[in-house]
Chains A and B, each alone.
Chain A
Amino acid sequence: MTRSFDDAQRLIDSVNYAVAHTKQLSILGQGTKAHYARSTQGDALQTRDHVGVIEYRPDELTISVRAGTPLTEIKNVLNEHDQMLACDPPEFLGGGTIGGAVACGLSGPGRPWYGNLRDAVLGIEIVNGLGECLRFGGSVMKNVAGFDVSRLMVGSLGIFGLILSVNLRVHPKPELERTIKIDLQWDDAWRIHGDAISKPSAVSATCYWSGSLYLRLSGNRASVDETRMSYPDGAEFENELWKSVRDHDHPFFHRREKLRRTWLGRGAHPELTDARNQLVEWAGAQVWSHSASTDSFAADANDASEPFDRRSANPETESKYVKRLRRAFDPHLLFNSDLRL
């Protein structure tokens, strides 16, 4: 059994206290993504004690959890029913809370095939900057009543409010997962990337690094075997690879400073010049690099590139609409006021 404790009232009281005393709040889960986004303004608002699975319905493919629940616990609970969070959010430093995962909105290596956390969120409960506890969405698959606030919260770094609980859609785990490694030039790997999204196959993750392409194949045995046969040069490799890439434990990520990510159009063909300092995921749609090599591949004007560390985001880039949105949820700018979207 997982730990379960409802700390909502204390959290709501803390927000109301901050409203009354014009204090600022820095929302904090386990702090595992401090190097990505962590507010340093104001008093810490700890979600760590607001934990537990509120309801898990394997037959409905839904789970409802309190924000402070550790990701690992949720994954274990789902695993007992051969289900999973398809978007597979990272567990940096081996942990993290679901609230933090939703606020950061990061996805694992299966992003193009399994979607992101936004795709999986069905409903949310938040406390806005007026201290009001609000619920949006629900626990059903289809719901178009009112604006989709629950999905807006995904990746919003907590600036719109405190997440109390989330309802998520879960997925059946594939019967089988295996990994293969193929040594090839970038241009050939790029071609395989194209097939991985434009042709039906069992490919469910890709990673190109240092002259090798890694493919994860998932599905039932027959379909995995079928796809496996299209890559006769591939050698078997450990499935552990995907976790290490996801959690930034892979050797590429050992140098943490100046880490950048670039998102490319799905059909883009970037030139990789420094194969050891660049790691390509998502069938070519996400390229990680260390800043020395940032400009060493030609990305076209549509491509977005940013330092992984969001704390250095330039406040000037926040658009007037985002500024207004922030005020619409949090008029006194209580929450994570130094973070920018």
Chain B
Amino acid sequence: MMSLEFAIELIKSTLPRDCVLTDPSATAPFETDGLTAYRRRPPVVALPRDTNDVRQVLRICHETGIPVVTRGAGTGLSGGALPHEKGVLLVLSKMNRILSIDEEGCTATVQPGVTNLSISQAVADMGLYYAPDPSSQIACSIGGNVAENAGGVHCLKYGLTLHNVLGLKVQTIEGDELVLGGDGYESSGVELIPLFVGSEGMLGVVTEITVKLLPTPPCKEVLLGAFNELESAGECVAAIIARGIVPAGLEMMDALAIQAAEDYVHAGYPRDASTILICEVDGTAEQVRSDADLIGELMVAHGADNIRSATEPEERDRLWQGRKAAFPAVGRISPDYYCMDGTIPRRYLSKVLTSIATLAEKHGLRVANVFHAGDGNLHPLILYDASDDEQLDRAERLGVEILELCVSVGGTVTGEHGVGVEKLDPMCSQFSAPELEQFFRLKEVFDASGLMNPGKAIPTLAHCSEVKGMHVHGGELPFPELDRF
């Protein structure tokens, strides 16, 4: 490895002055992403203007053996864009142009730094939109969405980022440009898009994305049902799906979240409810009418009182308002919160939520739940005070136990926020040693020198052996081949 200073000089001589930051006051804003418990000052921040700049920086990193961490908007919640202390932080925010829109074919081709919401805004006049809508959509970049396979409220019906990406251009650290997919539905050869979507910047830098646009549904209706029992709300979710309805969104909030949201935005949610379900259906007028009627009946059948519904945009927004403001609302009632992201089979919703409450009590912490109930993606928010090391420690332990609980019922440690640096430990309980080794062999295919976002997303076997409480996976002792690492 050549010196980092030498690499920085090379980058400075290649990119314009205002595209390279080394001054600590200028690099400070980049020391953390949305997972603020982790901070690291990047020695150098490169802000490429175009694909060619990206290629130059990657070439320099490859030649000098310096690690590179790609960053979009830095809203990630798992520390994926946490800088490397001896590496380059490649920030794509200047690459924020929509390159083309094909109204007839319903596609848009964009640079990675374009924000998620701005795509939908740009095509709204054409009666189109881009479906995946993470709550961070005003800020997060589409490149970051691809790297995390981001989801959102409407993913139950319209799929995740993966299902809405048709084509990618990816730059590898070896200097190749991979053109994957295109603007059609299929293409010849092996389909590598799934490998790059959700790869957390470990395989290459995504420099161009072609997304699928959908026609804006002519009608929408939002229903809000309040339940006295968590169990009956959980059963109602299962019943809606089992009746053959796939709502556009199906969200759940628990009592603590409802109260925090009410105190903050006064959306008119029933304060005395133990749980509320918010459900949106969309489509043609007839389809919406019949789906909404059936959902209303199912809510009543499961004991909901106080059902509200809205068809007009302002009323609908009002019903969504509390849900959309839930994270900041919870932020107001606690100095800090830690957002988990496990996904479980829907039928275990009430069982897992009850167990989470028990675990929280054991650790003496409060947990608020606001989440994508329709696809079983939980977001328990653990409330704690980061200025108290002991509390942070307890919060982290509770977090790990919650994720292990999710895995134990057949779920996963992360539904949409990614592994990053945050979930390396629970990854050790979800995957066996040969599976983790297979992941590393895959990484080597595109990044033989191991310079792309090293140390993230996939734990090494050595890391897993350090994690306390060795986990048994598939009936075998997990790491029989430890001496290799």
Task: List the interface of chain A (C-beta within 8 A of B).
Answer: 57-62, 82-83, 105, 107, 111-112, 115-116, 118-119, 128, 130, 132, 134-136, 138-149, 151-152, 154-156, 171-173, 194, 197-202, 219-220, 222-223, 226, 263-268, 282, 285-286, 302-304, 306, 317-319, 321-322, 324-325, 328-329, 341
User: Is B139 part of the contact surface with A, judged by Cβ < 8 Å?
Assistant: no
Residues of A within 8 A of B199 (CB): 147
User: Is B435 part of the contact surface with A, judged by Cβ < 8 Å?
Assistant: yes
Of chain B, the residue at the smallest CB distance from A331 is B441
The distance from the CB of B443 to the nearest CB of chain A, in whole angstroms, is 8
Do A200 and B215 touch across chains, with their CB atoms under 8 A apart? yes
Within 8 A of A (CB), among B441-474: 441-446, 457-458, 474
Query: A59 contacts which of B187, B216, B242, B411 (Cβ < 8 Å)?
Result: B242
The distance from the CB of A329 to the nearest CB of chain B, in whole angstroms, is 7
Do A266 and B189 touch across chains, with their CB atoms under 8 A apart? no
Query: With A146-B458, A148-B162 in contact, is A263–B187 under 8 Å at CB?
Result: yes
The distance in angstroms between the C-alpha atoms of A62 and B345, with both chains bound, is: 9
User: Is B18 part of the contact surface with A, judged by Cβ < 8 Å?
Assistant: no
The distance in angstroms between the C-alpha atoms of A145 and B191, with both chains bound, is: 20
Do B185 and A286 touch across chains, with their CB atoms under 8 A apart? yes
Of chain A, the residue at the smallest CB distance from B78 is A144
- In the assembled complex, 21 residue pairs joining A and B whose CB atoms fall closer than 8 Å, in A order, are A59-B242, A105-B191, A130-B434, A142-B160, A143-B343, A144-B198, A152-B191, A152-B192, A194-B104, A198-B127, A219-B287, A222-B290, A264-B184, A266-B185, A267-B104, A286-B185, A302-B184, A306-B188, A322-B189, A322-B190, A341-B190
Do B435 and A59 touch across chains, with their CB atoms under 8 A apart? no
Do B435 and A135 touch across chains, with their CB atoms under 8 A apart? yes
Given contacts A134-B435, A136-B435, 6 further A-B contacts (CB under 8 A): A130-B434, A140-B344, A143-B415, A146-B439, A148-B197, A199-B127
Within 8 A of A (CB), among B235-253: 238-239, 241-242, 244-246
The distance in angstroms between the C-alpha atoms of A341 and B195, with both chains bound, is: 15
Interface hub of A140, A156, A202, A222 (most chain B Cβ within 10 A): A140
How many A-B pairs have beta carbons closer than 8 Å: the answer is: 248
Do B343 and A263 touch across chains, with their CB atoms under 8 A apart? no
Task: List the interface of chain B (C-beta within 8 A of A).
Answer: 102-107, 127-128, 148-149, 151, 155-156, 159-160, 162-163, 166, 172, 176, 178, 182-192, 194-195, 197-199, 202, 215-218, 238-239, 241-242, 244-246, 283-284, 286-287, 289-290, 343-347, 372, 375-377, 410-419, 423, 427, 430-432, 434-435, 438-439, 441-446, 457-458, 474
Report whether over half of chain A's contact residues are helix, strand or loop; otherwise say mixed.
loop
The distance from the CB of B112 to the nearest CB of chain A, in whole angstroms, is 18
The distance in angstroms between the C-alpha atoms of A220 and B216, with both chains bound, is: 19
The distance in angstroms between the C-alpha atoms of A14 and B244, with both chains bound, is: 42
Residues of B within 8 A of A341 (CB): 189-190
Do B414 and A145 touch across chains, with their CB atoms under 8 A apart? yes
Interface hub of B194, B372, B430 (most chain A Cβ within 10 A): B194
The distance from the CB of B45 to the nearest CB of chain A, in whole angstroms, is 26
Do A144 and B149 touch across chains, with their CB atoms under 8 A apart? yes
The distance from the CB of A218 to the nearest CB of chain B, in whole angstroms, is 11
Do A222 and B377 touch across chains, with their CB atoms under 8 A apart? no
Do B149 and A328 touch across chains, with their CB atoms under 8 A apart? no
The distance in angstroms between the C-alpha atoms of A111 and B166, with both chains bound, is: 13
Query: With A222-B284, A266-B102, A267-B105 in contact, is A140–B343 under 8 Å at CB?
Result: yes
Do B188 and A304 touch across chains, with their CB atoms under 8 A apart? yes
Do A328 and B411 touch across chains, with their CB atoms under 8 A apart? no
**List of 9 A-B pairs having minimum Cβ-Cβ separation, nearest first:** A267-B105, A222-B286, A172-B244, A266-B105, A151-B194, A142-B415, A141-B375, A265-B183, A341-B190
Residues of B within 8 A of A58 (CB): 242
The distance from the CB of B477 to the nearest CB of chain A, in whole angstroms, is 15
Do B445 and A116 touch across chains, with their CB atoms under 8 A apart? no
Query: With A144-B416, A222-B290 in contact, is A285–B438 under 8 Å at CB?
Result: no
Query: A265 contacts which of B184, B194, B216, B416 (Cβ < 8 Å)?
Result: B184
Do B198 and A138 touch across chains, with their CB atoms under 8 A apart? no
Do A140 and B182 touch across chains, with their CB atoms under 8 A apart? no
Of chain A, the residue at the smallest CB distance from B412 is A143
Do A132 and B430 touch across chains, with their CB atoms under 8 A apart? no
Do B412 and A138 touch across chains, with their CB atoms under 8 A apart? yes
The distance from the CB of B212 to the nearest CB of chain A, in whole angstroms, is 8
The distance from the CB of B478 to the nearest CB of chain A, in whole angstroms, is 13
Query: With A59-B242, A143-B414, A223-B286 in contact, is A111–B185 under 8 Å at CB?
Result: yes
The distance from the CB of B86 to the nearest CB of chain A, in whole angstroms, is 25
Interface hub of B163, B438, B441 (most chain A Cβ within 10 A): B438
Do A321 and B446 touch across chains, with their CB atoms under 8 A apart? yes
Query: B445 contacts which of A145, A318, A328 (Cβ < 8 Å)?
Result: A328
Query: With A142-B155, A267-B183, A282-B185 in contact, is A223–B287 under 8 Å at CB?
Result: yes
Of chain B, the residue at the smallest CB distance from A317 is B189
Query: B246 contacts which of A152, A172, A264 (Cβ < 8 Å)?
Result: A172
Residues of A within 8 A of B434 (CB): 130, 132, 134
The distance from the CB of B182 to the nearest CB of chain A, in whole angstroms, is 6
Residues of A within 8 A of B218 (CB): 200
The distance from the CB of B440 to the nearest CB of chain A, in whole angstroms, is 9
Do B427 and A142 touch across chains, with their CB atoms under 8 A apart? no
The distance from the CB of B281 to the nearest CB of chain A, in whole angstroms, is 12
Do B412 and A140 touch across chains, with their CB atoms under 8 A apart? yes
Of chain B, the residue at the smallest CB distance from A190 is B104
Residues of A within 8 A of B172 (CB): 321
Of chain B, the residue at the smallest CB distance from A193 is B104
Do A138 and B185 touch across chains, with their CB atoms under 8 A apart? no
Interface hub of A128, A136, A265 (most chain B Cβ within 10 A): A265
Do A140 and B415 touch across chains, with their CB atoms under 8 A apart? yes
Residues of A within 8 A of B435 (CB): 134-136, 146
Residues of A within 8 A of B239 (CB): 59
The distance in angstroms between the C-alpha atoms of A155 and B149, with both chains bound, is: 20
Of chain B, the residue at the smallest CB distance from A221 is B286
Do B290 and A220 touch across chains, with their CB atoms under 8 A apart? yes
Of chain A, the residue at the smallest CB distance from B434 is A132
Do A118 and B183 touch across chains, with their CB atoms under 8 A apart? no
The distance in angstroms between the C-alpha atoms of A264 and B104, with both chains bound, is: 13
Do B185 and A324 touch across chains, with their CB atoms under 8 A apart? no
Interface hub of B162, B286, B376 (most chain A Cβ within 10 A): B286
Do B415 and A325 touch across chains, with their CB atoms under 8 A apart? no
The distance from the CB of A262 to the nearest CB of chain B, in whole angstroms, is 9
Do B416 and A142 touch across chains, with their CB atoms under 8 A apart? yes
Do A328 and B441 touch across chains, with their CB atoms under 8 A apart? yes
Query: B184 contacts which of A145, A152, A303, A306 (Cβ < 8 Å)?
Result: A303
Interface hub of A105, A132, A144, A147 (most chain B Cβ within 10 A): A144
The distance in angstroms between the C-alpha atoms of A255 and B414, with both chains bound, is: 49
Residues of A within 8 A of B344 (CB): 140
Do A267 and B442 touch across chains, with their CB atoms under 8 A apart? no
The distance in angstroms between the C-alpha atoms of A282 and B189, with both chains bound, is: 20
The distance from the CB of B185 to the nearest CB of chain A, in whole angstroms, is 5
Query: A146 contacts which of B104, B178, B410, B427 (Cβ < 8 Å)?
Result: B427
Query: B284 contacts which of A149, A226, A304, A319 (Cβ < 8 Å)?
Result: A226
Do B104 and A145 touch across chains, with their CB atoms under 8 A apart? no
Residues of A within 8 A of B159 (CB): 115, 119
The distance in angstroms between the C-alpha atoms of A156 and B190, with both chains bound, is: 6
Do B287 and A59 touch across chains, with their CB atoms under 8 A apart? no
Do A144 and B414 touch across chains, with their CB atoms under 8 A apart? yes
Do A325 and B107 touch across chains, with their CB atoms under 8 A apart? no
Do A151 and B238 touch across chains, with their CB atoms under 8 A apart? no
